[in-house]
Amino acid sequence: MSEAPETSQELSEVLEDLRRHLLWQEEDGGRFLQVDARLAAELRGAGLARLRAQAQAAKPASSVAAQPAPAAPQPAPAARPMAPRAPAPEPERPLAARAPEAAPVRREAPVARPLEAPAQARPAAGPLPGVVEGERPTLDEIRRELGDCRRCKLCDGRKNIVFGSGNPRAELVFVGEGPGADEDAQGVPFVGAAGQLLTKMIEAMGYRRDDVYICNVVKCRPPNNRNPEPDEVTACEPFLRAQLRAVQPKVIVALGKFAAQTLLRDTTAITKMRGNWREYEGIKLMPTFHPAYLLRQPAEKKKAWEDLQQVMKFFGKQPGQRG
Ligand code: URA
């Protein structure tokens, strides 16, 4: 079927508009658009039918009639070959895709996926619903997802869920084990005796407590401050991993064996792990002693301080220096 001249003119205009739009997209950083020969052919060939229909549908009947007829049907302009592009900057990679871990530990699934079984045999954890795989959730979204959690038996005895506190964009995150009585009562991590020591440690490093982010492996108090059990860690761990993904710190300090072993999926004793830089999903991780242990064994504070000094060195901080 031959085209009415005015239709052909309209198509030329549509195609020109489209071509300009594509060029603008490219100049403006829309590097995902690939105007290649195939698309150009589509525009000139099969795609014309669709464009024609769209152009006709969008145009009031009267304006079609008002268009002056061109002398001859205009050929549709071919899409100009694109200038060679600079390579697109690498998109922000999900944490799980970052540099491999320095230590010979297993790779792990991204945060929002069901977790692989960690070093200790644990039942498989479910996914973290509501947190889209590959996306970076916010702490608020994660907290909402946690809700009035009843995913493990720790919910029976808790007063408050202790989610985490501090700067949601902190460069430094401290991860503890689980809330004690004071934390359970207040819903805030590390506010009891161990917390007061942790606050001193943070301040000695040149930070205020509010500068850093603090959270725990499990968010509910284990009865009588017993150790969290494997199924409890498994239930809570996706939320910890999501928190770390949300904050994206430069350094994580793992306080004590539970934090270090859970994050690193490594059953090595904390006495051996402490003081040695590790990597958690591309983030530097320093295992050190838990403040509660340091309260019981004050002679070990020196070692913990050495560990924290390594962190300070990484950030170029002097003791007591703020900012
Ligand atoms: N010990 C922890 O591991 N976390 C707290 O929040 C308090 C004490």
Tell me the three-class secondary structure of the chain, residue by residue: CCCCHHHHHHHHHHHHHHHHHHHHHHHCCCCCCCCCHHHHHHHHCHHHHHHHHHHHHHCCHHHHHHCCCCCCCCCCCCCCCCCCCCCCCCCCCCHHHCCCCCCCCCCCCCCCCCCCCCCCCCCCCCCCCCCCCCCCCCHHHHHHHHCCCCCCHHHHCCCCCCCCEECCCCCEEEEECCCCHHHHHHCCCCCCHHHHHHHHHHHHCCCCHHHCEEEECCCCCCHHHCCCCHHHHHHHHHHHHHHHHHHCCCEEEEEHHHHHHHHHCCCCCHHHHCCCCEEECCEEEEEECCHHHHHHCHHHHHHHHHHHHHHHHHHCCCCCCCC
Return the minimum-mean-pLDDT range out of 3-17, 56-70, 283-297.
56-70
Q: Is the CB of 163 under 6 A from ligand 1?
A: no
- Percent of the chain whose predicted confidence (pLDDT) is above 90: 56
Look at residue 131 in the predicted model and tell me its pLDDT: 59
Look at residue 26 in the predicted model and tell me its pLDDT: 33
Q: Is the CB of 180 under 6 A from ligand 1?
A: yes
Rounded mean pLDDT of the chain? 72
Ligand 1 centre and the CA of 295: distance in Å?
13
Mean pLDDT value across residues 149-169? 98
Mean pLDDT value across residues 52-73? 33
For domain 138-315, say whether CATH 3.40.50.300 is its number: no
Ligand 1 centre and the CA of 216: distance in Å?
7
Look at residue 135 in the predicted model and tell me its pLDDT: 73
Q: Is the CB of 96 under 6 A from ligand 1?
A: no
Instruction: Quote the CA–CA distance of 13 and 9 in Å, as a whole number.
Output: 6
Can you give the pTM of this predicted structure?
0.63
Tokens 């916010």: give the residue.
Answer: 138
Supply the angle between the helices 37-44 and 46-58 in degrees, to the nearest 10: 60
Q: Is the CB of 195 under 6 A from ligand 1?
A: yes
Ligand 1 centre and the CA of 165: distance in Å?
12
Look at residue 136 in the predicted model and tell me its pLDDT: 86
Sorted by where each begins, the domain ranges of the chain are 4-81, 138-315
